Amino acid sequence: MTTIQDPPAEAAVAAPPVAVATGGTPRRKTGGADAELGRRSWWGAAFAAPHSIGLVVFTAFPILASLVVSFMNWPMLGERSWAGLSNYTQLFSDPIFRTVTLNTVLFVVLYVPLNLVVSLGLAAWLTPKIRHRHVFRVLFFIPTITPIVANVVVWRMLYQPGGAIDATLQSTVGVNAPNFLADDNWAMLAVVAMSVWQGFGYNMLIFSAALDSVPENQLEAAQLDGANAWQMFWRIKFPLISPSIFFATMMTLITSFQVFVQPFVLTKGGPGTSTETLVQYIYNTGFQTQQLGLASAGAWVLFVIILGITAIQFLGQKRWVHYD
């Protein structure tokens, strides 16, 4: 009869311990992974540092500095002193400031709807059924990428007496064109017309891309239900592209309140102050009369106006913008 003997004590001690299953995987050391992640984070911060430093130095700091300057008497040359709210009081009591504010509002009211209607109409026309539509897109977008000063100079030659518009009217109907840039009734309309031609191309591309993304099956279903082109646009396409329309409206509103080059080069704000805008008033106050404190106060008033209108737009988007 064979008997089983116990192993020697030395062998029992030397035997490796048996791992007990605990239902999970053995924990690995994460020191190396953490170090690698830390190195990558430092590399990311290093690459972002130039842009961040530039943003702080050239954007954030000037914005805060202008807020401080707006509460001071700050001539370009001379002694500076604390003024409190006197700059803002002077602005709101200045009839010229009220006039240029109304001029800016008038420009926005005329320019924004015209820009959106023209750009949306052209985008709706440039369907995939249009042959060589990419050529039309390029042609319509050229004014947007052309230097605005060059565009304004060309339009100034069109508007002036003896220019292309005047010569065309004389040769066709025998009448002289009004002096657009020297007439109070025509100057702002001339600025708006030139601005719409300059700026509609950007929104047209946005709307065109949004319309191209509308699902064809929804349009085909609407056609089977007997919907005409007008109903398909307003009941199907418009709700689907409403986020793009909201974005274009916001950007167009903001840039229109900041209009400067068109009236400055076309009319110098004239005749009188009929086309002078808020930004031009700020420019004249800061660099011609050299009242930097008053100019900074005007800039912050413009900022508050834009901020308020932007907030109203964001609150009102829930009624007509559909993201689903």
Q: What is the pLDDT of residues 8-30, one digit of tens each?
A: 444 444 444 444 444 445 555 45
SS3 state of residue 241: coil
Q: What is the pLDDT of residue 208?
A: 93
Q: What is the pLDDT of residue 315?
A: 92
Q: How confident is the model at residue 255 (pLDDT cuts 50, 70, 90)?
A: very high
* 73, β-bridge pairs: 81
Task: Copy the structure tokens of residue 24.
Answer: 């999970």
Q: How confident is the model at residue 73 (pLDDT cuts 50, 70, 90)?
A: very high
Q: Tell me the average pLDDT across 208-212.
A: 93
Return the minimum-mean-pLDDT range out of 36-40, 68-72, 227-231.
Answer: 36-40
Choose among 108, 112, 114: nearest CA to 305: 108
Cβ-contact 254, 279 below 8 angstroms: no
- Whole-model pTM: value is 0.83
The answer, yes or no, to whether residue 124 has pLDDT greater than 80, is yes
CA dihedral 234, 238, 239, 241 (to 10 degrees): 170
Q: Tell me the average pLDDT across 103-128.
A: 95
In whole numbers, what is the pLDDT of the chain averaged over residues?
Answer: 87
Cβ-contact 278, 100 below 8 angstroms: yes
Q: How confident is the model at residue 210 (pLDDT cuts 50, 70, 90)?
A: very high
Q: Tell me the average pLDDT across 95-104.
A: 96
Q: Tell me the average pLDDT across 267-277.
A: 92
Q: Which amino acid is at 302?
A: L
Q: Tell me the average pLDDT across 170-185.
A: 91
Q: What is the pLDDT of residue 3?
A: 47
Task: Return d(Cα 108, Cα 88) in angstroms, integer.
Answer: 23
CATH number of 88-319: 1.10.3720.10
Cβ-contact 78, 292 below 8 angstroms: no
Choose among 123, 277, 141, 264: nearest CA to 199: 141
Q: How confident is the model at residue 198 (pLDDT cuts 50, 70, 90)?
A: very high
Q: What is the pLDDT of residue 76?
A: 84
Task: Return d(Cα 187, Cα 4) in angstroms, integer.
Answer: 115
Task: Return d(Cα 81, Cα 165) in angstroms, integer.
Answer: 52
Q: Tell me the average pLDDT across 38-42.
A: 71
Q: What is the pLDDT of residue 136?
A: 92
Task: Return d(Cα 252, Cα 257) in angstroms, integer.
Answer: 9
Q: How confident is the model at residue 318 (pLDDT cuts 50, 70, 90)?
A: confident
Note the maximum CA span of the chain. 137
CATH 1.10.3720.10 in the chain is located at: 88-319
Q: Tell me the average pLDDT across 84-112.
A: 95
Q: Tell me the average pLDDT across 40-55.
A: 85
